[in-house]
Amino acid sequence: MKIDILTLFPEMFDGFKSESIIKRAIDLGKVTINTCNFRDFSEDKHKKVDDTPYGGGAGMVLKCQPIFDALKSVKKENSKVILLSPQGVPYNQKMAYELSKEEHLILVCGHYEGFDERIKSVCDEEISIGDYVLTGGELPAMVITDSVVRLIPGVIDEESHLNDSFNNNLLDYPTYTKPRDYNGMKVPEVLLSGDHEKIKKWREEKQLEITKEKRPDLIKPRFVLKKEGLKKSGRRIKIDDVKDIKVTIIKDNKNLSYKVTKEEKLVAITIFNPKELKGYKLKGKSKDGGITKILIVKKAFAFKVALKNIRKKIDVLANRLNTALFEIDEDKTRKVLAEAEMLKQMIINTYQDYIGKERLDGIIKNINQLVSEFVRSKTLHSN
């Protein structure tokens, strides 16, 4: 893997690249990490990379030209460009695994008040490492690089990261080492028993217990039903008659979703919003607090519905962009650009499981092209 980091402060990465697992990965040839100072690409005689924002406001905004030219110097056909911003999609372990499969990552570090909005048009993804503001994108770039590099095959033992926190949506279990008794604090007896089944069960219970206490937001309701036999009636499956079926139920104010797996393999998924699928409403009956009957919708059907809904939403965005093209009010322009960002994040969060990464990337790219064309036309129209 190759990682290029566009930054105003390349020296910040010297220690990062020369220590611990990152250094080992570089020495093993598993990853190449380069820094690129986009100030070097500034056409300003004073090498300025920022300017005051149109419409007024505090702070300085990074200009398009230096970053566009810096990206052009490092970007290849297989590159994935990530903009590091508080407005981005929240970063998590699942994203780290996805990024670790890429051949070339380009991380763009912000600074000052933010980026010129048009810079987003040449980026594939916008990522945030948390709901807080930093002075620049250098620390987020280190966080993402560290979390990705350790997942590259051969950097660390595979078992080390397979048991990481968040891999199964739970926090990690407690671990202990010698001595058995330290100041009266003893290692749990089960870990000294040598009974691997008991140890495994204890760890699973502790994971759930700790997650409930510290991060209850990570836990989704689960019902594991183990019954002999399998009975089908058209599209209906009686869950209480199915062996080794796990039903994951996700519910908020608007959506009700069921994901059905058998022996850890996805066998069927249901609709994500029953109101959008006429004639295919979910039907569930409660029995002792669990779901006993459900109307299963085939994955192919959910895929078609997801694309149909996405197309409708993109058409609405296109109409709003066309309307805003001739608006003088800059607030309306900013609003429609913000709507485009929100639409991308909504599609990623809501539809990714139904349309797959390849199709999702294509859709996000199309939205970026729409926005880029709007910004270009708006600039020409204003002049």
- Same structural domain, 109 and 135: yes
- 86: annotated active-site residue: yes
Per-residue pLDDT tens digits for 334-357: 888 888 988 998 888 888 877 888
Average pLDDT over residues 249-265: 44
- Cα torsion at 157, 158, 160, 163 (round to 10°)? -170
Catalytic residue among 50, 116, 125, 150: 150
- 215: annotated active-site residue: no
- Same structural domain, 141 and 12: yes
Predicted pLDDT of residue 207: 85
- Same structural domain, 282 and 206: no
CA distance 362 to 349: 15
Backbone angles phi and psi of 311, in degrees to 5: -60, -40
- Same structural domain, 244 and 353: no
- Same structural domain, 234 and 124: no
CA distance 95 to 163: 17
Catalytic residue among 164, 240, 276, 353: 164
Q: Is residue 198 part of a domain?
A: yes
- Same structural domain, 264 and 186: no
- Same structural domain, 152 and 120: yes
Domain edge (last residue) among 198, 217, 236: 217
| Token representation of residue 377 | 């036309």
Q: Is residue 166 part of a domain?
A: no
3-class state of residue 281 by DSSP: coil
- Same structural domain, 275 and 312: no
* Cis ω before 179 (30° cut-off from 0): yes
- 150: annotated active-site residue: yes
CA distance 376 to 136: 27
pTM, full prediction: 0.58
Predicted pLDDT of residue 288: 39
Residues in the chain: 383
- Same structural domain, 21 and 56: yes
Q: Is residue 164 part of a domain?
A: no
Backbone angles phi and psi of 65, in degrees to 5: -55, -50
**Number of domains into which the chain is organized:** 4
Closest CA to 268 of 257, 276, 278: 257
Highest mean pLDDT among 143-147, 272-276, 369-373: 143-147
Per-residue pLDDT tens digits for 1-39: 999 999 999 999 999 999 999 999 999 999 999 999 999
Average pLDDT over residues 88-115: 91
- Same structural domain, 153 and 22: yes
For 164, 211, 218, the CA distances from 168, given in Å and listed in that order, are 9, 11, 10
User: How, if at all, do strands 290-295 and 236-238 pair?
Assistant: antiparallel
| Token representation of residue 122 | 């040449």
- Same structural domain, 188 and 47: no
The least confident of 26-35, 175-184, 259-268, 361-370 is 259-268
- Same structural domain, 115 and 243: no
Backbone angles phi and psi of 281, in degrees to 5: -70, 145
Predicted pLDDT of residue 191: 95
CA distance 128 to 187: 38
Catalytic residue among 53, 86, 117, 320: 86
CA distance 295 to 283: 6
Closest CA to 255 of 292, 215, 306: 306
Q: Is residue 168 part of a domain?
A: no
Per-residue pLDDT tens digits for 157-178: 765 655 555 556 678 889 999 9
Q: Domain range spanning residue 354?
A: 306-382
One-letter-per-residue 3-state SS of 342-380: HHHHHHHHHHHHHHCHHHHHHHHHHHHHHHHHHHHHHHH
259 vs 21, residue with greater confidence:
21
Predicted pLDDT of residue 161: 56
Catalytic residue among 69, 98, 102, 113: 113
- 235: annotated active-site residue: no
